[in-house]
C-alpha cells in the first residue's frame, strides 16, 4: 500500500509466489537444513565409523528407485519406501545408479545421458537424505537387466571398435573401459539439481559399488577381473576420496584359495573368474561384499541344511575380514525364494533371523561383520516388478518385527553412534 497502486499488484504477486514456493517446498527445505550435519561414513580397520563411533548396518535393497522416480505417477513410491525404511530403523538402502540403453535409460549411448532420468536419481538421493537413509549406489550390472555389461559390449560392437562380441570383453576391451570410466566420472561429478551438491561430496551416499555380481568366466584364473577391479577402483578414488568403495562380489572363493574346496557351495563357484580374497584385497577397496542365496546354489538340500550352510558361509567371510583382509565385510544381498518346493513364509523369517543373528553377534564381539541388506523391499501395488524374493515388510507382522528388532539391538551396542530420535522412539516402544 505504501508503494502506491502501481506497485501493489506486482508486490502482491511476488508475495503469493514466495508463499507458494514455501508451501510447496517448505517441509523439504526445512528438513534438508535439519540434515545439514549428515556426516560421511568412514572406515577404521574392520569397522565402519560415523561421528566417532562404530556404525553397524541394518538395511535393504530396492534396486528400482531411480526407475520409478522418472514418472510422476510412480514417484511417490520412492518417498513411501524410504520413509518406511527409516521407520524400521534401517540406515542403508542399496539401489541401482545405472540403466544403460534400456527403457528409462540413464545412459542412452556411450557418454549420452537422459537429463530427465538423471533428475530422477537426484530425487532419490534428496529423498534419502530427507529421511536419514544412506545409499549404496551400484554403477553397472554384470547381468543383462538394465543394460549391464552386455549393453557396453553391444555399443562397442555397433561402433566397429569392439575387440570381441563376448560379454566378458567388458572387462578387457580398452574402448569399453573408456566408456565405463566416462560413465563413472559423469555420475560422480554430477551436481544434484535439488540439493546443489555434487554426488562425490554428498554424505547421503554411503558408498559406491563397482559392479553387481561380477563374473568373468572366460578367464577362470581371475586375472582379467582382478586387473579391471584394480584399474576402476583407482579411477573412482582419483575422483572421489570422500566415499567408501566396494566391488559388488557374490563372495565365491577362487581356484587358488583353500576355501574353494571347503566353503564354496560347489565346484562351479571357483570357475567364475572372481576370487573373494584376492578381489577384496585391492587397496582402493574399502570393504568386502558378499551375497547369500543358498536356494539358488543348492537345489537338493533340505531347508535345515541350507540354514547350516548360511552360518558356515557367513562365519567364513567374517573370519576373512578379521584375519586376512582387515576390512569390514558386508552381506549386501540375502534372500530366500518363494518358488522353493514346500516354501512357507515362516522359512523366510527363520532364514533372515539366521543372517541377522550372526551380524548382531559379530558386532557384539567387535568382529568384521558390519551389516546385512535384505533382497528386496517393495511398496504395495508393485507386483509386476516383483521377483521371487520381494517383500512388502509391513504386510507380515513377524517380518516387520524381526527387522525392527535388529535395528534396535544394533543401536544398543556400546560404541554405536547415537541413534536418530525416531529410532530411539521406536526402540523405547519395544522395551
Query: Which residues are marked as active site?
Result: 213, 333
Distances (CA, A) of 95 to 2, 105, 150, 165, 385: 55, 15, 20, 28, 14
Distances (CA, A) of 408 to 32, 56, 217, 362, 417: 25, 11, 42, 15, 13
- Kind and range of the H or E run holding 48: strand 47-50
Q: Which of 48, 123, 121, 120 has its CA nearest to residue 91?
A: 48
Q: Which of 311, 304, 390, 386 has its CA nearest to residue 347?
A: 304
- How would DSSP label each residue in 12-30? HHHHHHHHHHHHHHHHHHH
**The total number of residues written for the chain in this structure:** 431
How, if at all, do strands 112-113 and 47-50 pair? unpaired
- Burial of residue 336 (CB within 10 Å: 0-12, 13-18, 19+) is buried
Strand partners, 330: 289, 371
Q: Are the C-beta atoms of 392 and 352 separated by less than 8 Å?
A: no
3-state class of 133 per DSSP? Answer: coil
Provide the grid cell at 35: 540434515
Residue burial 378-410, b: 16+ Cβ < 10 Å; e: rest:
bbeebeeeeeebbbbbeeeeebbebbbbbbbbb
Provide the grid cell at 253: 572363493
- How would DSSP label each residue in 215-228? --TT-TTSHHHHHH
- Cβ–Cβ contacts within 10 Å for residue 365, how many? 11
Distance, in Å, from the CA atom of 57 to the CA atom of 55, rounded to the nearest integer, reads 6
Amino acid at each position: 500500500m505504501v508503494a502506491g497502486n502501481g506497485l501493489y499488484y506486482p508486490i502482491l504477486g511476488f508475495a503469493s509466489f514466495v508463499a507458494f514456493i514455501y508451501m510447496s517446498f517448505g517441509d523439504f527445505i526445512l528438513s534438508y537444513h535439519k540434515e545439514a550435519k549428515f556426516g560421511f561414513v568412514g572406515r577404521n580397520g574392520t569397522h565402519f565409523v560415523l561421528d566417532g563411533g562404530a556404525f553397524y548396518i541394518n538395511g535393504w535393497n530396492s534396486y528400482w528407485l531411480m526407475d520409478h522416480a522418472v514418472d510422476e505417477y510412480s514417484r511417490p513410491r520412492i518417498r513411501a519406501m524410504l520413509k518406511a525404511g527409516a521407520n524400521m530403523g534401517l540406515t542403508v538402502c542399496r539401489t541401482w545408479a545405472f540403466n544403460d540403453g534400456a527403457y528409462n535409460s540413464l545412459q542412452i549411448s556411450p557418454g549420452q545421458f537422459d537429463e530427465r532420468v538423471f533428475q530422477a536419481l537426484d530425487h532419490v538421493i534428496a529423498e534419502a537424505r530427507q529421511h536419514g537413509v544412506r545409499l549404496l549406489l551400484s554403477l553397472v550390472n554384470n547381468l543383462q537387466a538394465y543394460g549391464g555389461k552386455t549393453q557396453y559390449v553391444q555399443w562397442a560392437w555397433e561402433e566397429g571398435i569392439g575387440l570381441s562380441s563376448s560379454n566378458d570383453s567388458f572387462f578387457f576391451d580398452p574402448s569399453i573401459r573408456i566408456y565405463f570410466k566416462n560413465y563413472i566420472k559423469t555420475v560422480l561429478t554430477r551436481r544434484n539439481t535439488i540439493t546443489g551438491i555434487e554426488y562425490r561430496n554428498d554424505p547421503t551416499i554411503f558408498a559406491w559399488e563397482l559392479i553387481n555380481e561380477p563374473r568373468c568366466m572366460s578367464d577362470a584364473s581371475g586375472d582379467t577381473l582382478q586387473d579391471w577391479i584394480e584399474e576402476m577402483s583407482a579411477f573412482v578414488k582419483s575422483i572421489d576420496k570422500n566415499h567408501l568403495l566396494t566391488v559388488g562380489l557374490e563372495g565365491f572363493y577362487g581356484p587358488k584359495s583353500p576355501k574353494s574346496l571347503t566353503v564354496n557351495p560347489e565346484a562351479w563357484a571357483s570357475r567364475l573368474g572372481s576370487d573373494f580374497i584376492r578381489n577384496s584385497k585391492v587397496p582402493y577397496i574399502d570393504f568386502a561384499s558378499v551375497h547369500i542365496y543358498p536356494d539358488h546354489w543348492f537345489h537338493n538340500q533340505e531347508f535345515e541344511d541350507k540354514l547350516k550352510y548360511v552360518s558356515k558361509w557367513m562365519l567364513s567371510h567374517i573370519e576373512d575380514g578379521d584375519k586376512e583382509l582387515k576390512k569390514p565385510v558386508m552381506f549386501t544381498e540375502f534372500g530366500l525364494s518363494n518358488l522353493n518346493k514346500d516354501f512357507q513364509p515362516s522359512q523366510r523369517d527363520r532364514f533372515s533371523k539366521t543372517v541377522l543373528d550372526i551380524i548382531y553377534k559379530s558386532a557384539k564381539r567387535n568382529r568384521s561383520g558390519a551389516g546385512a541388506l535384505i533382497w528386496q523391499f517393495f511398496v504395495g501395488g508393485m507386483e509386476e516388478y516383483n521377483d521371487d524374493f520381494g517383500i512388502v515388510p509391513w504386510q507380515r507382522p513377524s517380518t516387520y518385527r524381526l527387522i525392527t528388532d535388529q535395528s534396535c539391538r544394533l543401536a544398543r551396542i556400546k560404541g554405536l553412534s547415537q541413534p536418530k530420535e525416531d529410532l530411539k522412539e521406536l526402540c523405547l516402544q519395544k522395551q
